[in-house]
């Protein structure tokens, strides 16, 4: 559905150990990937996977709406680490995983708009967000650069997985107002009682309709 051409620019925010970026390269091995991951303990695995790819860049900080530093809650299940404390739905141990806090550390935050400028990225084909309730903060930090992003792939929450994190409707409303249309929702995940917890969403910039895949 998302047509990535040779040399396409993909920004993977919350790269963790690079599973998403691996999928991108399997589909388009000549894509240019920019991985942003604040958990430095994942970096050896990222370098192992992508060290031979000249088109893969790795940065060790987080993205948000304002430049600065903030407490970051590292989970025992590291993929759930977040600037936000876990909410009720995760406190009960969803998916049979341990989401309890392992430690708290200070993490540097950059704005996406500034990051793209410093990397000389005038256009982004695909922005992927896996930031555990920090989606709107990252998007607000994109500023005018949102108008130069073609596709956005982001998680959606239907229950409070992270305290103060946006629900699906809030992310949808923000991006719709900014000129993006929701094209697909997939990978729906539910708790043991069948209540929807989250899914993945794919948005496309509205003014690209009929222009290119």
pLDDT tens-digit series, residues 135-173: 999 999 999 999 999 999 999 999 999 999 999 999 999
Q: Which pLDDT score is estimated for 3?
A: 84
**Phi and psi, residue 80, nearest 5°:** -95, 5
Q: Which two tokens stand for residue 81?
A: 């680490």
Mean pLDDT of the chain: 94
- In order of start, what are the domains of the chain with their CATH numbers? 9-64+112-208 (3.40.50.150)
- What pTM was computed for the model? 0.95
Q: Which pLDDT score is estimated for 191?
A: 85
Condensed to tens digits (0 to 9), the pLDDT of residues 21-52 reads 999 999 999 999 999 999 999 999 999 999 99
For 199, the enclosing helix (H) or strand (E) is strand 196-205
Question: Do 159 and 89 form a contact (C-beta atoms < 8 A)?
Answer: yes
Condensed to tens digits (0 to 9), the pLDDT of residues 68-87 reads 999 999 999 999 999 999 99
């Amino acid at each position: 559905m998302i047509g990535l051409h040779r040399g396409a620019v993909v920004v993977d925010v919350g790269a963790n150990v690079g599973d998403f970026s691996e999928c991108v390269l399997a589909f388009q091995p000549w894509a240019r990937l920019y991985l942003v991951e604040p958990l430095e303990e994942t970096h050896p695995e990222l370098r192992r996977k992508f060290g031979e790819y000249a088109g893969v860049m790795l940065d060790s900080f987080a993205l948000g709406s304002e430049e600065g530093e903030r407490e970051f809650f590292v989970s025992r299940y590291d993929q759930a680490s977040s600037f936000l404390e876990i909410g009720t739905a995760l406190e009960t141990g969803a998916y049979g995983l341990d989401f309890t806090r392992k430690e708290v550390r200070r993490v540097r935050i950059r704005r996406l708009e500034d990051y793209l400028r410093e990397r000389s990225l005038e256009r982004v084909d695909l922005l992927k967000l896996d930031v555990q309730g920090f989606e709107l903060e990252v998007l607000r930090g994109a500023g005018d650069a949102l108008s130069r992003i073609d596709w956005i792939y982001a998680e959606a929450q239907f229950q409070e997985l992270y305290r103060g994190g946006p629900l699906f409707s809030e992310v949808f409303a923000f991006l719709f107002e900014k000129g993006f249309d929701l094209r697909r929702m997939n990978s729906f995940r539910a708790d043991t009682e069948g209540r929807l917890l989250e899914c993945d969403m794919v948005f496309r910039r509205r003014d690209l309709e009929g222009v290119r895949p």
